[in-house]
Amino acid sequence: MPAPAEVSYDEMNSSSSSIGVYWDANAALKSGATSFTVQILKKKDVGGDAYDNTVSHTLQSSDSPYDASQFTGLTEGSKYFVRVRANYPRSVYSEWAYILSSYNVPAKVKVGTGVMHIDPNAKNGPEDVTVVPFFSDLNLKWEEDDTAESYVIYIDDQKVGETEELSYHVTGLDYNTSYSVSVASVYSDGSEVKADPEPTKTGNIQQITRNVGPTHLSVNWDDVSGGAGAGSRAYQVELSKEESMANPIYSIYCVDGQASTNGSFGSSSWYGKENGTNLLPPTSISFGQLEPATTYYFRVKTVGNYSFQGSKGTVTIKATNGESDFSPVITLRTEAEHTPAANEILYQGFDNITMQSDFINTAAGTTPYWSDKAIVSKQADTPNPWEGAWVVYPFANSHLLATWGMASTANYIDGQATYKGQANRIAGDKSGSLKGWYIGDQVSPHQGYVKVGTSSKDGFYIATPALDSPLLSAEGTLCTFSFKGCPLMTDGRVVDIEVYRAATKTFEKVTSITMDSTLADGWTSSDYLCNYKWTTYSIDITLHPGDNVAVISTNKSRFAIDDIMIVKK
């Protein structure tokens, strides 16, 4: 039975989002055609009524018009074959008739452009190959080769897959590894033409060791999300004691665990600025509440699109580069516990305090979701949607020991309610080994250390309990007092070391220490990068039973402090 004749592209009724088509229906109508079916397809010669995107129109011979149609809502640049057939009574159909190119073969019609006149014998290979690497996988996409039947994917010249689509997901790769990626067009005669190889490298994952202890560790990974902000730098992380990653200790979507709807990896002035704009810190996270000298296993993946209802509204994280597979599992390890030396009088490693962000490792930090924190601060947290008991605090975000219920109001060493104008606290049961220490009002817990001070006032401090070691004599014992310190942000770097003399009930300033800068020479308030790292400082002091030693912020300094130690010389 006659097919429609002279199927043509209707330029007048086509646009950047539509394709118009018309045909000569006369011969088919004279032979008894009752209707016409017109379709657009991604591939020609598809059998039966299969078509792309359910785009098919059937026009009855009584319709007006019955010899023209328009497909709307299309994406500019998309390519389709356009075909029409005549339908006759008793399920009789004509052959499909296509819009033809100048080569007299079925033509592709490009939305917004028109009929493409492509040499059917051309073998150009795929163009504009794009590679998006993750950790153990990568995504490929390319521009269509209009004469190809399919495409073959090669990794380091080894065939890993074949597809008729314009994208492919490669799996089973190693992290931090370079690869050569190629895509080849396959033609009807079986020949191939490869695009130029694309060198790529999968993302790296590594433990950060600037700040590691017996109960906490940190890990960094290359940011493969493609994102430029907190919501699009989207990740899920897992930590387990089992290499199989069964029974993970942590399995967390990295969203802001404070009262917000942000992701965990937004920009921060605590990391740095460029031309006055806050910089994006590395994608890193610290895990606490761990066991000493223990091996742990870690993996990470990008999150394509995840939403849940948080305390402040809907939280959505969506990686720009889409969802990846989980990375290969890497090994991490905590340090052994501190071993006291024979001449040790006091040691404070803050190992029971492992929460909130980690300045030293420039990392976000896992934080327990404690109900009394919300009660005390009236700042409801967003519970981690995976575990329910843990959240992630973005880099540099924190609350005070007292806010967490880890310290309470009390008099200072000398019995006064305040010292240097600041309210005093005493660390309590939830602070572990810090219990009984004196702290100024502005002291916050972090991953195995505390942060002291603000940028607006001086006089915040951390002070030991009264010393009661049998190594101290009433006449006085020469000791070395040491600590690891790191100034934060662009604030002052000076701290005072002070001793409260129990015998005379007086305060004695021993010395001032100017800590090493974390900023490069020539920094300005609008251009700087904070290179946080520990430096050990020590002085000799004569101490007696009952004395207390304090480290006090001055010059409006904010600083991190760890591993406070007193040993007999």
Statement: residue 68 has pLDDT above 50: yes
| Confidence class for position 53, pLDDT limits 50, 70, 90 | very low
Q: How far is residue 208's CA from residue 363's CA, in Å, rounded to a whole number?
A: 9
| Confidence class for position 382, pLDDT limits 50, 70, 90 | very low
| pLDDT value of residue 377 | 35
Task: Specify the residue for token string 């902000």.
Answer: 229
| pLDDT value of residue 211 | 95
| Confidence class for position 398, pLDDT limits 50, 70, 90 | confident
| pLDDT value of residue 371 | 44
pLDDT tens for each residue of 349-379: 999 888 899 999 999 998 876 544 443 333 3
| pLDDT value of residue 493 | 93
Statement: residue 522 has pLDDT above 80: yes
- Contact by Cβ (8 Å): 245, 260: no
pLDDT tens for each residue of 21-45: 999 999 999 999 999 999 998 887 7
Question: H/E element holding 142?
Answer: strand 138-143
For the sheet containing 127-133, what is the strand order? 127-133, 138-143, 167-170
Pairing state between β 364-368 and 283-287: parallel
Q: How far is residue 275's CA from residue 387's CA, in Å, rounded to a whole number?
A: 40
| pLDDT value of residue 262 | 81
| pLDDT value of residue 214 | 95
Name, in order, each residue with C-beta under 8 angstroms of 70's C-beta and a sequence gap of 6 or more.
Answer: 10, 13, 14, 18, 19, 20, 21
Question: At 86, is the secondary structure helix, strand, or coil?
Answer: strand
Statement: residue 326 has pLDDT above 50: yes
Query: How far from each other are the two terminal CA atoms of the chain, in whole angstroms?
Result: 108
Q: Which of the residue ranges 180-184, 309-313, 369-373 has the most confident prediction, judged by mean pLDDT?
A: 180-184
pLDDT tens for each residue of 203-216: 999 999 999 999 99
Question: At 225, is the secondary structure helix, strand, or coil?
Answer: coil
Average pLDDT, the chain: 91
Question: At 306, is the secondary structure helix, strand, or coil?
Answer: strand
- Contact by Cβ (8 Å): 563, 341: no
- Picking from 323, 327, 330, the residue whose alpha carbon sits closest to that of residue 300 is 327
Statement: residue 384 has pLDDT above 60: no
| Confidence class for position 387, pLDDT limits 50, 70, 90 | very low
| pLDDT value of residue 406 | 85
Express as a percent the part of the chain with pLDDT over 70: 94
Domains and CATH numbers, the chain: 5-116 (2.60.40.10), 127-201 (2.60.40.10), 209-341+356-377 (2.60.40.10), 398-568 (2.60.120.260)
pLDDT tens for each residue of 95-147: 999 999 999 999 999 999 999 999 999 999 999 999 999 999 999 999 999 99
pTM: 0.87
Name, in order, each residue with C-beta under 8 angstroms of 522's C-beta and a sequence gap of 6 or more.
Answer: none
